[in-house]
């Protein structure tokens, strides 16, 4: 059978138009209200909180073969039965792949680690960040629903992914970027065909603009946690990780947390896998959130035992992806941390810079600042005894370091002068 172009680019080797999915309904994450029909566009719940997609997990347990799914080519779209149903023609694909898990042997040796220190490198996805997972799904759903114009505030990586998947899906995208975000970010979005506006405010200020424009312009709001499908896309990170580790959860996952879709999505994946009987050990991962000292609303709420986090004033960090002063889904983030036995800690700006240089030098992995914070988090939690040297720990690098500022210490050599060769010996 000849493959359609869409099938080829996704590496899918079988017709999938008739595949079954198992969504039963959507549910308000705050009140548990379930009166939200699947297969229809949704923003937040009636009280303005994130909606969660729920599945017939018993049916999935009965029908699905995890190893058959994992053996398929085609990156995160291989998990389609575990996601909301999308007609084949509406699936937007840019050649996704599974992202590698890279061991950190030098740092393990230095710290006498008897367990495992691994880094899952999400920078290999289209537009170079894990935001591709969430936005591929959200934009495919938008295309399916006939949504023609979406908008979002972003510090960068989400905007790049939105620009790509919206453009590819024929959906118009308007994107608001704080003017002090890393300069590569808005340029990438423009390159990928989006309408980009830089604002003299932060991501939550952009969020307010988008919210107002929903009424003024008719935009569909794809901000973090304001529509239900980005979390579902991020869920594939947890499914993929478990499969790569032989269907066993690591002891801990360290994840730099902003709006929290990754942490919440991964925890949802592990809970659903446990329910489906897909995990081959009883271990569930401790979910650990790192935040910058300059913007740590989740850590503050965690330390004071709150169920939700408030607004963080004067947020600052060069790790742009975690400069999120207010997380609409903070209750879900804090619940995932609590239910998993995890924790949340702050990292200083200098520690982030040092950890980024350390991973480059010692393991030859160039991470983004957000990703670097997970190494500092790991070391601090080893010191405090929260993590053990025998633990298997997975750090997440969610974006490509090349999009961010890098220090340049290379001297300039005057090649018209005699060369001092001794300096190279």
Ligand X SMILES: *Cc1c(COP(=O)(O)O)cnc(C)c1O
Please give the residue ranges that form the binding site for ligand X (CB under 6 A). 129, 131, 157-158, 224, 256-262, 321-322, 368, 370, 398-399
Q: How far is the CB of 83 from ligand X (least distance, A)?
A: 17
Q: How far is the CB of 178 from ligand X (least distance, A)?
A: 13
Q: How far is the CB of 241 from ligand X (least distance, A)?
A: 14
Closest CB to ligand X among 74 and 399? 399
Q: How far is the CB of 367 from ligand X (least distance, A)?
A: 9
Q: How far is the CB of 361 from ligand X (least distance, A)?
A: 20
How far is it, in rounded angstroms, from Cα 128 to Cα 32?
35
How far is it, in rounded angstroms, from Cα 292 to Cα 362?
23
Closest CB to ligand X among 147 and 237? 237
Closest CB to ligand X among 12 and 344? 344
Closest CB to ligand X among 7 and 373? 373
Q: How far is the CB of 114 from ligand X (least distance, A)?
A: 29
Q: What angle do CA 362, 366, 371 make, to 5 degrees?
A: 100
Closest CB to ligand X among 75 and 399? 399
Report the residue number whose CB is nearest to ligand X.
321
Q: How far is the CB of 169 from ligand X (least distance, A)?
A: 21
Closest CB to ligand X among 276 and 358? 358
Closest CB to ligand X among 26 and 264? 264
How far is it, in rounded angstroms, from Cα 340 to Cα 89?
38
Structural contact between residues 93 and 165, judged by C-beta atoms closer than 8 angstroms: no
Closest CB to ligand X among 80 and 234? 234
Q: How far is the CB of 122 from ligand X (least distance, A)?
A: 8
Q: How far is the CB of 20 from ligand X (least distance, A)?
A: 29
For 22-47, give the secondary structure using H, E and C: CEEEEEECCCCCCCECCCCCCCCCCC
Closest CB to ligand X among 258 and 377? 258
Closest CB to ligand X among 249 and 328? 328
Q: How far is the CB of 23 from ligand X (least distance, A)?
A: 22
């Amino acid at each position: 059978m000849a493959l359609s172009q869409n099938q080829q680019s996704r590496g899918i080797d079988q017709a999938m138009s008739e595949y079954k999915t198992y969504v039963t309904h959507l549910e308000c994450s705050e009140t548990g209200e379930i009166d939200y029909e699947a297969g229809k566009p949704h923003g937040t719940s009636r009280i303005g909180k994130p909606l969660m997609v729920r599945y017939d997990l018993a049916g999935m347990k009965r029908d699905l073969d995890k190893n058959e799914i994992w053996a398929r080519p085609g990156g995160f779209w291989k998990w389609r039965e575990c996601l909301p149903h999308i007609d084949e023609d509406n699936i937007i694909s840019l050649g996704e792949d599974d992202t590698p898990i890279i061991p950190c042997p030098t740092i393990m040796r230095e710290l006498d680690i008897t367990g495992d220190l691994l880094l899952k490198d999400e920078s290999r996805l289209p537009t170079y960040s894990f935001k591709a997972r969430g936005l591929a799904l959200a934009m495919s759903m938008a295309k399916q629903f006939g949504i023609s114009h979406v908008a979002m505030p972003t510090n960068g990586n989400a905007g790049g992914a939105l620009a790509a998947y919206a453009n590819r899906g024929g959906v118009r995208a308007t994107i608001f970027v704080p003017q002090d975000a890393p300069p590569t970010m808005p340029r990438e979005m423009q390159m990928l065909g989006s309408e980009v506006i830089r604002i003299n405010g932060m991501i939550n200020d952009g969020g307010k603009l988008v919210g107002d424009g929903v009424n003024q312009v008719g935009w569909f709001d794809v901000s973090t946690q304001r529509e239900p499908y980005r979390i579902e896309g991020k869920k594939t990170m947890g499914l993929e990780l478990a499969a790569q580790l032989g269907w066993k959860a690591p002891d801990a996952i360290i994840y730099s947390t902003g709006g929290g879709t990754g942490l919440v999505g991964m925890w949802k994946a592990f809970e659903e896998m446990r329910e489906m009987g897909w995990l081959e050990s009883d271990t569930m991962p401790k979910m650990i959130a790192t935040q910058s000292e300059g913007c740590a609303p989740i850590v503050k709420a965690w330390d004071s035992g709150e169920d939700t986090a408030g607004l963080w004033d004067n947020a600052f960090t060069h790790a742009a992806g975690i400069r999120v002063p207010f997380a609409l889904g903070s209750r879900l983030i804090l619940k995932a941390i609590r239910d998993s036995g995890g924790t949340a800690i702050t990292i200083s700006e200098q520690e982030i810079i040092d950890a980024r240089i350390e991973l480059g030098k010692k393991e030859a992995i160039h991470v983004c600042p957000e990703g670097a914070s997970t190494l500092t988090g790991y070391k601090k939690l080893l010191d405090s005894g929260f993590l053990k040297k025998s633990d298997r720990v997975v750090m997440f690098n969610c974006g490509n370091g090349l999009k961010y500022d890098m220090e340049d210490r290379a001297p300039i050599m005057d090649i018209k002068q005699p060369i001092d060769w001794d300096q190279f010996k």
